[in-house]
Amino acid sequence: MDASPGQIGTARAQYHLRQMLVFLSAFQLNKPEVFINQSNAKFDEAGRLTDEPTRAFIGKLLSSLREWTGRLQSTAKGGSNA
């Protein structure tokens, strides 16, 4: 997840990072991809996220991270990764 004041967020940087992580056989959470564009309008002066749609999208990312982590832990303990 990255944020940028530009229109496409930090999509190019994230895709390049993903390419490097694939080469290193690193575990990655692939979905959802989070690009926070026009971030200068979505955070207040104190750095708090004020944009509710972005907040909800980040919530989906955190839910996916929790599920993904559970699958990794299950696999590490000898369970199925299905």
- Res 75: pLDDT: 82
pLDDT in tens, 36-82: 888 889 999 999 999 999 999 999 999 999 999 998 888 888 765 55
Expressed as residue numbers, the domain containing 47 is 2-76
pLDDT in tens, 3-22: 888 877 678 888 888 899 99
- In the structure encoding, which two tokens stand for residue 61, read together? 């990312």
- Res 3: pLDDT: 81
3-class secondary structure, 36: strand
Q: What is the pTM of this model?
A: 0.71
Q: Is residue 8 part of a domain?
A: yes
Is the preceding omega at residue 53 within 30 degrees of 0, hence cis?
A: no
Q: Is residue 54 part of a domain?
A: yes
- In the structure encoding, which two tokens stand for residue 43, read together? 């955070």
Domain total in the chain:
1
